[in-house]
Structure 1
Amino acid sequence: MTSHDWETDALCAQVGGDEWFPESSQGVSEAIAICRRCPAITACLAAAMAEEAGLGPAHRHGIRGGLTRRQRAERARKTATAA
């Protein structure tokens, strides 16, 4: 199994790409609702956190693993502080 085999099970693979880059709070809510039903949410978030390691919110994009770019940046900050 390769590191991104989870992508074939991900619900985002079945939904349009623009859904993951919403321009409104309603769009964010809709994308996150899809993520919460996704069987690949844990692997998706782990991949996002690994790929974005060391980056601030401005260098993170879209909804990944059920979190916004700012939420992922905050999680990374908290993890780094706890280490």
Structure 2
Amino acid sequence: MINDDDSFFYIGFYLLSQVVRVIPLGVTYAIWSGVSIVLTAISIYFSLGHKLYLPALIGMALIIMAVAIIHIYSSVHQV
């Protein structure tokens, strides 16, 4: 049986399967991983009140820059 928490998981993987049709799997996986790390850290900050120290913020900034570089310089053409 699917509960509410699982539905987001399934929706996420469905959307990922749609993206893979347009963007190569390697690029998709890099973006998926980077965005997941950043969103998890942000959600824990707001929901549990965990502090984000400077090294964590720098690391997340580097992840965001890496995802942007992958998106900008990938050879994927929009349909």
Give TM-score, length-normalised by structure 2. Answer: 0.32
Task: Find the structure with the greater CA-based Rg.
Answer: 2
Give TM-score, length-normalised by structure 1. Answer: 0.31
Structure with the higher helix share, 1 or 2: 2
